[in-house]
Amino acid sequence: MNSYMSGPDPLGGKITRRGLFGTGARIGGAALLATGAGDLLAACGGSSSTSAPAMQPVAPKVDGKVLNLLTYPGFFAESAVKGFEKEYGVKVESTAFVGGQELAKIASGQPFDLTTPIASQLPEIIASGLARPLDHEKFKYWDQILPAFMNPPYDPGAKYSVPYAFARCGLVYATEWVKESELTGSWADLWRLAPKLRHRAYVMNDMQTSMGMALEYKGHDLNSGDAKQIEEAGQALVELMPSTGGFSDPSDEELIISGQGWLVPSWSNSMYFSVLQVKDRSSLGFQFCKEGSLVDMNPMIVDAAGKSPGTAALFIDWMLKPENMEANVRQVGAGVPTKAGMAAYEELGKEFPFLKVPPDIVTSFAGWQKPFTAERRKLFTEQWSRVQAVG
Amino acid sequence: MRDRLAGISLLPLSSWLVAFFLVPLGMICAISLATTDLVGTPIFALEFSNYSALLDPLYVPVVIRTLAYAGAATALCILLGYPAAYTVARLGGRHRHAIILLIALPWFVDYLIRIYAWLAILGGNGLLNNVLHQLGLTNAAGLSFVGHSYTVILGLTYSYLPFMILTIYVAVDQMDPRVIEAGKDLYGGPWSTFFYVTLPTTLQGIVAGSLLVFLPALGDFATVQFLGGANQTMIGNLIVNDFSTVGNAPQAAAWTVVIIGSMVMVLVMASLVARIRRRGATHRIGSDVVLGGTG
């Protein structure tokens, strides 16, 4: 039916998430205090362990009557959640998080059953023993998943994760103040137009995405590990910031809907939410940039600390069911690489053209953000600190 | 026996402070000297580069800006808070407690909601721009009130003003009104009575209020995050970003230790100044007594 089903092997990986508070939920920070403090005091000079304890693959079955989700608000369609509760007699409790919190919570051992972290965090989450392996054989709707995502780069063999919502990054613009004729379909538009927009252009407060954007603007690979190129990207952002309104906090959606932001890097699903909330849809435009679209995803994982892992796996399987995935896609405005998910997403794309995706995004992971290596994270962090200081 | 009882009665509080203040503080200090692994998990070390990194000239404007914003907000809080507190305490009559409650009422609402409210007022399509546009004072593009230094200072002032009002209110309320009458009896005009009698008498309230405003303003991050723009980063924002976006917990901890250290220094200095003032006052009184006796 479509070219997604012919997906060959993947390249590099990373993810999407709802643009809630702009900042990407990076593996850092508060999460680290949670895991790190324990290691710190216990190890006292040693290194923290990152080898995952052996866990049995979890099969979908009801092994607890309460399912604790840790995810973005409204990240699953209400009809799908209610249907699950009714079908299996399980009460679904959802805890909402904003950027940066979910790792802190699961790393601290809080008993959540299911989480939707950023895919690029998965290698570390898995290595830290925070996710349970999945018993694919027992999943009723496992064959719904597109071939490429049965072996994604962020989780080889999809042993620990099931793909969920992905989105692409582009530039949202207020059509009243930024004319389509002024745009060239490049990230360079942000640098060129920001000085004219009287501090109404913004930069996403997300290190990997914004640095990736700047790398592409400078003609480099978004996943570059070259120190010189990364420095160039950092410098480009440092030069851009003074002419902007700063970072798009509290969220790009807020800025766009409130009319404060006229040119804002944003996710396609954030644009979807924004468009649904403004009176006049034509007041907003969205352009993808020819250099790339920094694809990002939030897969579903079963938490190691959860008390109902079987129920969590069952929930995931339930969400893979075609009618539920269709409802989810309409709910979150993000692509989901399952047969039904992509069909629903294509349908949605007819009404919202910015949701259309080139096939290679879900077949070869073209343009996806990859997980950090230690060295690349260090280089990014150094440059991002400079950007933060002028942000 | 009494000392032992006093010691026992302090045990719960001491335990609480040790468990929930000193231990976490120690952990923050330890993390400030740590390194990180791939995922940013702190690993114990003696990595002083987390502190030396703070000396990067890049951060000098951020530190100066933080001090300036916190200082400006404190000054504004004094200017706005003193007349308000004085009026309520002196003229509020039997309703003064109710008025104080009304002043504090907005602070029963969550901090973020209050900042969002400012966004709704000052944002591009916000209330203020709409009013100005309706009055024909601006075009459809409106004015950009968000993203300026004055907006951040306004936000900080708004956030911490009640601390100033409450402390000054207590100071004015406790002031013996007869000292003002005495000032007037000594032919003091309204201003001279205020500057030589009222203000010194309530100075402790101003100092306490200033500390309660200045210190938390130093570590504030949400105000800039919501109402600020480019080149308005404060130290609090660096800490938040180090924690949540770049996984650099040791550097965030180092900033935290520096801020806490600065706050302690401010408190110690304030305490020293107060002590010197008291000694000076005692000395003057002593001199006056001696002079009076010989005159």
Do A102 and A17 meet the contact criterion of CB atoms below 8 Å apart? no
Window 307-366 of A: residues touching B by CB (8 A cutoff) are: none
Reply yes or no on whether the pLDDT at B116 is more than 90. no
Domain that holds residue B164: 57-284
Let me know how long chain B is: 295
Measured CA distances, B66 to A182, B235, B265 (Å):
38, 6, 16
The residue-averaged pLDDT of B119-124 equals 84
Which residue type does B16 have? W
Count of domains in chain B? 1
Residue A203, C-beta contacts closer than 8 angstroms, at least 6 positions apart: A190, A210, A237, A240, A241, A244, A246, A247, A248, A265, A387, A391
- What distance in Å separates the CA atoms of residue A290 and residue A317, rounded to the nearest whole number? 36
Question: Is the minimum CB–CB distance between A51 and chain B shorter than 8 Å?
Answer: no
- What distance in Å separates the CA atoms of residue A356 and residue A345, rounded to the nearest whole number? 8
The reported pLDDT for the residue numbered A51 is: 52
Q: Give chain B's mean pLDDT.
A: 86
Do B253 and A28 meet the contact criterion of CB atoms below 8 Å apart? no
Phi then psi for residue A62, to 5 deg, are -75, 110
Check residue A79 and report its DSSP letter: H
Which residues partner with A264 through β-bridges? Answer: A172
B65, part of any domain: yes
Residue among A44, A377, A381 whose CB faces B44 most closely: A44
Alpha helices in A181-321 (DSSP H): 188-193, 207-217, 227-240, 252-257, 268-277, 309-320
Which residue type does B248 have? N
- What distance in Å separates the CA atoms of residue A289 and residue A284, rounded to the nearest whole number? 16
B30, part of any domain: no
Check residue A201 and report its DSSP letter: B
Residue B2, C-beta contacts closer than 8 angstroms, at least 6 positions apart: none
B3, part of any domain: no
For residue B206, what is the enclosing H or E element?
Answer: helix B203-219
Do A102 and A25 meet the contact criterion of CB atoms below 8 Å apart? yes
B4, part of any domain: no
- Chain A partners within 8 Å of B244 (Cβ): 23, 25-26, 28-30, 99-100
B22, part of any domain: no
Question: Is the minimum CB–CB distance between A126 and chain B shorter than 8 Å?
Answer: no
- What distance in Å separates the CA atoms of residue A361 and residue A99, rounded to the nearest whole number? 24
Quick count: other Cβ atoms within 10 Å of Cβ B284?
Answer: 10
- What distance in Å separates the CA atoms of residue B235 and residue A102, rounded to the nearest whole number? 24
Quick count: other Cβ atoms within 10 Å of Cβ A257?
Answer: 19
- Chain B partners within 8 Å of A206 (Cβ): 245
B263, part of any domain: yes
Residue among A29, A32, A249 whose CB faces B226 most closely: A249
The residue-averaged pLDDT of B104-123 equals 85
The reported pLDDT for the residue numbered B38 is: 59
Question: Could you tell me the domains of chain A?
Answer: 3-40+54-167+295-355 (3.40.190.10), 169-293+373-390 (3.40.190.10)
The residue-averaged pLDDT of B6-27 equals 88
Residue among B44, B120, B123 whose CB faces A40 most closely: B44
Say whether pTM exceeds 0.80.
Answer: no
Do A97 and B242 meet the contact criterion of CB atoms below 8 Å apart? no
B50, part of any domain: no
Rounded to a whole number of angstroms, the distance from the CA of B20 to the nearest CA of chain A is 14
- Quickly tell me which residue has 């209110």 as its tokens: B169
pLDDT range class, residue B141, cuts 50, 70, 90: confident
Residue A175 burial (10 A CB sphere; 0-12, 13-18, 19+): middle
Rounded to a whole number of angstroms, the distance from the CA of A158 to the nearest CA of chain B is 21
pLDDT range class, residue B292, cuts 50, 70, 90: very low
- Chain B partners within 8 Å of A381 (Cβ): 246-248
The reported pLDDT for the residue numbered B209 is: 95
The reported pLDDT for the residue numbered B235 is: 93
Kindly list the averaged pLDDT for each block of 10 residues, start to end, along chain A of length 391. Answer: 38 33 34 40 39 81 95 93 97 81 73 91 86 95 96 94 96 95 97 93 92 97 96 96 88 85 94 92 95 93 95 98 96 95 95 91 89 85 86 72
The reported pLDDT for the residue numbered B246 is: 66
- What distance in Å separates the CA atoms of residue A165 and residue A116, rounded to the nearest whole number? 9
Measured CA distances, A326 to A70, A74, A333, A348, B238 (Å):
21, 15, 10, 10, 41
The reported pLDDT for the residue numbered B40 is: 66
Output the domain CATH number for residue B196.
Answer: 1.10.3720.10
For residue B165, what is the enclosing H or E element?
Answer: helix B149-174
Task: Find the closest chain B residue to A209 by CA distance.
Answer: B245
B289, part of any domain: no
* A250 three-class SS: coil
Do A230 and A383 meet the contact criterion of CB atoms below 8 Å apart? yes
pLDDT range class, residue B151, cuts 50, 70, 90: very high
Phi then psi for residue A46, to 5 deg, are -90, 180
Question: Is the minimum CB–CB distance between B42 and chain A shorter than 8 Å?
Answer: yes
